[in-house]
Amino acid sequence: MGNTTYKLELLRTGLILGVLFGAICYLIWEGIIVGILAFIITLTLYFLIKEYYPKWLKRKKEALIEKDLPYFINSIAQELSLGIPFDNALKNLIKESSGGLKKELLGIHKRIDSGKGIAESIQISYAKFESSQIKRTLSYLIYIYEQGNKTVRDIEPLKNLEKEFLIKQRNELKKFNARISVISLFIIVFSTIIPAMFQAFVIVGSFFIELNMTKEQIFLIIVLLFPAINLGILLGVNEISPAILKG
């Protein structure tokens, strides 16, 4: 019921904004088609931003944590294998970590300092994430802590998890390398070949046929359209790039 109410509220607000911007565009350009298009675009963008942008942003943050998990797992496994108590090992790793992983480890440490148990503090972090890699790592930490880390064998599941995550990262890099070779061709085509052919067509073609384009339109195509296409391709490359390549 709550989810239905939320979506109805989204739809109501989107309709209000759509009608508002549609009316403004209709008054400015005096065209009903322009007004309808503005209404549809505004409604769609509002819904996408409110409904999917937070999920996309959360997934990006989790991906940045996932890329550091193999290093984190290896480090805490080494600390525990040396007999260092679990909470001390966690403190040591906070100093060595960075980014989202460090922030989450600090959150766990603060909850422990406030009086919560170690397993409970990790469980709170576990409930926050949707990433299976992060959840599995945290669940293994809870298991090892509750087992007491009596022998080196107790941390063997963590080492296996590290190997699995490293293999997954290598596979992602291979897939990305295969994609980038094709995408590079598109970048070359849209950044050099097509703009050059378009300019040649405009210069040479104008001697033989009458072009239905003004100087301003030609200028905007060269200065704005082609760079916008290249920018879109680069943003797409950044979107599909594995988090491990983003530092």
Does a structural domain hold residue 62?
Answer: no
2 pLDDT higher than 70: no
Which one, of 95, 98, 91, lies nearest residue 118 by Cα? 91
Question: Which residue range forms the structural domain that includes residue 173?
Answer: 169-246
| Terminal alpha carbon distance of the chain | 42
3-state secondary structure of 150: coil
The answer to whether 218 touches 202, Cβ cutoff 8 Å, is yes
- At 135, the pLDDT band (50, 70, 90 cuts) reads very high
Does a structural domain hold residue 234?
Answer: yes
For residue 68, which phi and psi values (nearest 5 degrees)? Answer: -95, -5
Share of the chain above pLDDT 70, in %: 92
23-66 per-position pLDDT tens digit: 888 787 767 887 788 888 888 888 888 878 888 888 888 988 99
Domain termination residue (choose one: 165, 181, 215): 165
Q: Is residue 161 located within the same domain as residue 178?
A: no
Does a structural domain hold residue 63?
Answer: no
Q: Considering only CA atoms, give the Rg of the chain.
A: 27
78-103 per-position pLDDT tens digit: 888 888 888 888 888 888 888 888 99
Query: Is the model's pTM score more than 0.85?
Result: no
What b/e sequence results for 173-191 when a residue is b if at least 16 CB atoms lie within 10 Å of its CB, and e otherwise? Answer: eeebeeeeeeeeeeeeebb
